[in-house]
Structure 1
């Protein structure tokens, strides 16, 4: 039996697909999760990677406010609920295999819990690693008085 994503490979641009059929075909891992990469919609900057379950994805699509699944807390995590630094969805896309999401977002302030704009701030090279971005907001201030 061919997979849903294999069947739509040759589809022409503009073809409409039923959302329920696409959601049912998403390839979740053994924990029921799919990786989601958040990218700033206007600059293309990759901000972070987190996990979503189907409920988080459905909530994100319905509300426009990005919701992830926290593996450490084992519950839905609405980006910014602890820090106030929210992500608002501009668009969501699945890769060709249906096992990775790309979220185009409008990020308020830093996306990283370290207070940096992006979680990807350690650049690796053949002879070492370099911190490539400054802290925007001290994490102690970012989460001051907030439940984490």
Structure 2
């Protein structure tokens, strides 16, 4: 994989990783990767991230069993964000929810001039 594209890790050494269910397309979570997490993910095909709060590497599901097997990886056009398409083995969220994105924000009524462009 010597010629494989590599993310542009920011000044803090991190890149945002959006995690998507490869079957359903649902966004499961957003996490952070450093170079070590990136390389571990490529090597093992298990989603591995950098915990900013604990300041350590963590393989998703290592303790819970709710692993994410990586099926495909894509970089955005600037290479400053990663999309991991995964086969989740259990819930993605530490709360037990399938996705970390379960809190819906109710939007106020759209203003008259907010209709989509033709």
Instruction: Give the TM-score normalised by structure 2.
Output: 0.86
More helix by share: 1
The equivalences for 1:126-141 within 5 A come to 126-127=107-108
CA distance in 1, matches of 2:93, 2:47: 14
Question: SS of the counterpart of 1:37?
Answer: strand
Q: For structure 1, list consecutive stretches of 5 or more residues without a partner in the other structure.
A: 1-16, 128-148
Shift of 1:114: 0.5
Shift of 1:27: 2.0
2:111 corresponds in structure 1 to: none
The equivalences for 1:80-99 within 5 A come to 80-99=61-80
CA distance in 2, matches of 1:126, 1:90: 34
Question: SS of the counterpart of 1:123?
Answer: coil
- After the TM superposition, which segments of 4 or more aligned residues of structure 1 sit over 6 Å from their partners? none
Number of equivalent positions: 107
Instruction: Give the TM-score normalised by structure 1.
Output: 0.69
If asked which structure has higher relative contact order (CA below 8 Å, sep 6+), I would say: 2
